[in-house]
Structure 1
Amino acid sequence: MNPPLTGVKVLDFSTLLPGPLCSLLLAEAGAEVIKIERPGRGDEMRAYEPKVDDDSANFVLLNRGKQSVVIDLKAPGTLDHLMPLIHEADVLIEQFRPGVMDRLGLGYAALSTINPRLVYCSITGFGQYGPRASEAAHDLNYVAASGALSLTAGNDGAPVLPPALIADIAGGAYPAMMNILLALRQRDQTGQGVHLDVAMADNLFTFQYWGLGNGELGSWPSPASELVTGGSPRYQIYRTADGAFIAAAPIEDKFWANFTRLIGLDAAVLDRLSATEAKSAVATAMAQRSAKYWMDRFAGEDVCASLVVSLEQATEDPHFAARGLFDQTVTAPSGTTLRALPVPVDRAFRCSARTASPALGADNSLLKS
C-alpha cells in the first residue's frame, strides 16, 4: 500500500525545528517535501554542532527524505522561478514573522489567487495578529509567556529550564501537522485551501488544562504545591542511597498502597500527614536503599515507579529495542549513516524508502530557469 500522503507536494520555507519537524512528519507519511533554502548557508540548522561532514546531525535527522532548492527570496523574479512549484503545491509551510512572506510576494493572499487549493501553514510564536505578534522570542519565551514555566519552580521559587523544546514541538510542529491534515481533508470536500495560523504560545495552554480548570473555580495553581508540580508525595522524584533517582507516580490509591507497603510505610498514616511531612517520610525511606534495591523490589508490582536514566541509557532499553524505535536509518549527503529520529507516525503509514537528507541545492532543477 502507498503511504497515505503519496502525491501530496509540500513547499517548506521554514528553518530550524518547528516547520522542519512538521514537514518531516508529512514526508514520513509519503508527502514529497521540497525545502526552499537561502543561498550560501541554507537552513541555519545545517551549521549547528556536532557535524556530519558539511551538515549538522540535527539537520540530517530532521530532514530525512526531503529535497532541497536554493533561491534568494529577495531577488527580482523569484516568484517566476518558483511558479511551477507553487502551481503544483498542496501545502506550504513558513515560519517567518507575520508580514514577511507578504512583503516577499509570497503571502497567502497572493499565492491563493495562483493556487486556490493551497493549504498555507504559518507557524509563529504568538500568531499572525495581536500585540505580541512581531515579538522576537524562542521556545523558552513562549513557555514563560504561557504560564507553564512558572510551574516548574521548586521550593526555592526559581523556575528550571524545561528538558525539551516544548513550544517548538508540542506547540508548533505537532499542531501544524494536525491542522494541515484537517485542511487537506476539508479541501477534499470544498476544493478550497486555507491559511492556517499556528501560534506556539497559544498551543501551550492546552497542556495546562488542569490549572485552567482550577483557576476557573478560583484556585489558580502555584509551583511546588499541586499534584503534578511537586505538591504531593504521590508524584515525586526521590533520591536513593547511591545518589540515583526514582520517579514515583503512584497517584491512585491502589498504586499508592502498593508503593508505600514496599518501602515499609503505611499509606493510611501518610495520608493523615501534611503533604510536606508525607513527602519527607517517603524521601527518608527511599534514601535508605540503592536504586537497584528499590527497582528489584518494585519489579512485577503495580507501583508506577521508574528509574531516572540518561538519554543514552534510554536508547539501549530492551523495551524500546523490541518496539523497533531506532531501527530506521538516515544517510547524510556524505554517505554517513545515523539512526533516524523516531517520529509519531505509525509504521502502517510510513514511507520507509526515503533514507537520505538533501545536500544544499541538490534539487534546483525543480525551479523554472
Structure 2
Amino acid sequence: MSQRIFEGLKVLDFTNNVAGPGSSALLADYGADVIKIERPIFGDDTRSWGSSVIESFSWYTWLNRGKKSVTISLTDPEGLAIIEKMVADADVVLQAFRPGVMRRFALDYESVAKVNPSVVYCSISAYGQTGPKATNAGYDQIAQAYTGLMDMTGQPDGPPTRVSISMLDHSTGINAFGSICAALYHREKTGEGQHIDVSLVGTAFSMIDMFEEVAEATTLGISINRTRVGRFTVSPGAGTYRGKGNQYCEIAANNEKLWRLLCQAMGRPDLITDPRSDSESSRMKNASLLHGIIEDWVASFDDINVAVEKLDKFGVPCAKVNSIGDTVADEHLLARGAITDVPAPTSMQARGVKTIRARGPWHILSKTPLQMRKAPDRGEHNIEVLAQYGLSVDEIGKLQEKWNKSK
C-alpha cells in the first residue's frame, strides 16, 4: 500500500463519547498517529456502552479504531507535566470539554500555541466556545431540541421526535475532520496553526435546509412545523408511502419531470393533465388526496419490492424503507466495502474474537485508500508512548498504580 495521506501526523486526542472520537478516527483512517488520552480506571465513556452478546465495546471499537490509548490523570501534577511535553510536539490537538476546562489545566489553545505555534487545535462542544450558552452542557438530543430539528421531525399530530441515531454527534465529528484538514492545508502553505471551534448546535443549524422558507413564514406569522406529506416546499410525490404488511417505501418525485414519470409508472397518465395535479401549485393544494392515490398504488402490491422495481424501471428515485437488519446484509453495501471486518482489540482476540463486523470506509480514494485498524484496549500503549517522553518502564508502572488508586 502506498503511503497514507496523514502518515507521520501526530494527533493528541482528549475527546470522549462520539463527536470528537469520530473525528480523530477519520484522521487515523488516513494514517495519522492518534494518541488517545483516557482517564485511568474508567477510560472513555463508550467503553461501558458495549454489547452484552460479545462483551465488546462496540461503540468504542468503532469510534476509536486505529488509535493508541494512554491513561493519564490530568488532575495530578505529574500527569499534567507529561501532557505538557506531549502537546509541545503535536500537529493536532482535539478536545471536547466544556469551554474553560482546558484553560484550568493551561491546555487551552492560547497556552498550547505559546509552546507550539503551528498546532492545529480543535475544540468540540455543545454550543461553541463563545456566546451566552457557551458553558452549558449538551448532547446530540439537546442540540436537536434547541435548534428546532426535533420540532420538524415526527407526525403532525404527535410530539416532537428525536432522530434516534446520534446524527449530530457523527456529523459534527465529520465537520471537525473537514475543518482540521483545511487548517492543515493552510499550515502547509503558511506554517501557521490555528484554533477551530466546532459545535453540535452549529452543525444542527447548518442542516436546517428550509431555513429561508421557515424564516419567511415566521415573519409573516405563519406557523410551520411537522408535516405528514413530504416536505414543506416539495409537492406530493416526495414522501413515505405505506404498503401491505407494514412495509414502507420512500419516493422522491419532486419535480415536474419526475412527477410525470411517477404517473406513468403507476399507470395513471391522467394525473399529468388532471387540474388537481397538473402543476406544482395544484399538487400542493391537493397534497392529501394525491398522497392517498400514491399510497393506494403502493399498497396494491403484496411485496413492496415489486413497486420499487417498477419505479426504478421508470427512473423514479425510490427505496424500500429497510430495517437495520436489511441494511447490514445489503448486497450493494457489501459490494462497495461499506460493511467490512475490522480487527478486534487485543483483549478480545485473546478470547477468540478475531474480527468485528463494522462499517467500512465511506471515503473512496483511488490512490490513498483508507485503512480501518483495530481499537486499543484502555492504556494499551502506555509504555510505548510514554517512554518517548523520557519515562522508564518502572516510572510508568508506578504512575499508573497511583492513578488507579485515586477515583
Same fold (TM over 0.5): yes
User: Quick check: 2:241–2:249 contact (8 Å CA) kept in 1?
Assistant: yes
1:355 maps to a residue whose letter is R
For 1:220-259, list aligned pairs within 5 A.
221-224=224-227, 228=231, 232-259=235-262
The corresponding residue for 1:277 is 289
User: Quick check: 1:117–1:193 contact (8 Å CA) kept in 2?
Assistant: yes
Which of these residues, 265, 273, 286, is aligned with residue 268 of structure 1?
273
Gaps of 5+ in 1: none
Q: Give the CA RMSD over aligned residues.
A: 2.3
Larger Rg: 2
User: Quick check: 2:91–2:120 contact (8 Å CA) kept in 1?
Assistant: yes
Distance 1:226 1:100, change over 3 A: farther
Partner Cα distance (2:184, 2:159) in 1: 44
Structure 1 runs of 4+ aligned residues shifted over 4 Å read 51-55, 216-221
Which of these residues, 363, 375, 379, is aligned with residue 361 of structure 1?
379
Q: Deviations over 1:308-363 (max 9, x none)?
A: 111121122221122122235232222121123334332443352x6221111111
Partner Cα distance (1:92, 1:127) in 2: 17
Partner Cα distance (1:286, 1:71) in 2: 58
Q: Deviations over 1:8-39 (max 9, x none)?
A: 10000001100110001000011110000000
1:44 maps to a residue whose letter is D
The corresponding residue for 2:206 is 206
Partner Cα distance (2:110, 2:52) in 1: 39
Which TM-score applies when normalising by structure 1?
A: 0.92
Q: CA deviation at 1:148?
A: 1.6
User: Quick check: 1:65–1:356 contact (8 Å CA) kept in 2?
Assistant: yes
Partner Cα distance (1:264, 1:163) in 2: 37
Q: Which has the higher contact order (CA 8 A, sep 6+)?
A: 1
Which of these residues, 364, 369, 383, is aligned with residue 346 of structure 1?
364
Q: CA deviation at 1:232?
A: 3.8
Partner Cα distance (2:53, 2:44) in 1: 15
User: Quick check: 1:49–1:56 contact (8 Å CA) kept in 2?
Assistant: yes
Partner Cα distance (2:89, 2:229) in 1: 51
For 1:124-163, list aligned pairs within 5 A.
124-163=125-164
Partner Cα distance (1:54, 1:277) in 2: 51
Distance 1:77 1:161, change over 3 A: same
Gaps of 5+ in 2: 392-407
Q: CA deviation at 1:212?
A: 2.6
Number of aligned positions between the proteins: 367
Which of these residues, 303, 322, 342, is aligned with residue 309 of structure 1?
322
Partner Cα distance (1:319, 1:30) in 2: 27
Which TM-score applies when normalising by structure 2?
A: 0.84
What secondary structure sits across from 2:40 in the alignment? coil
Distance 1:164 1:54, change over 3 A: closer
What secondary structure sits across from 1:309 in the alignment? coil
Q: Deviations over 1:102-149 (max 9, x none)?
A: 112211121111111111100001001111112122111101111222
Partner Cα distance (1:362, 1:153) in 2: 44
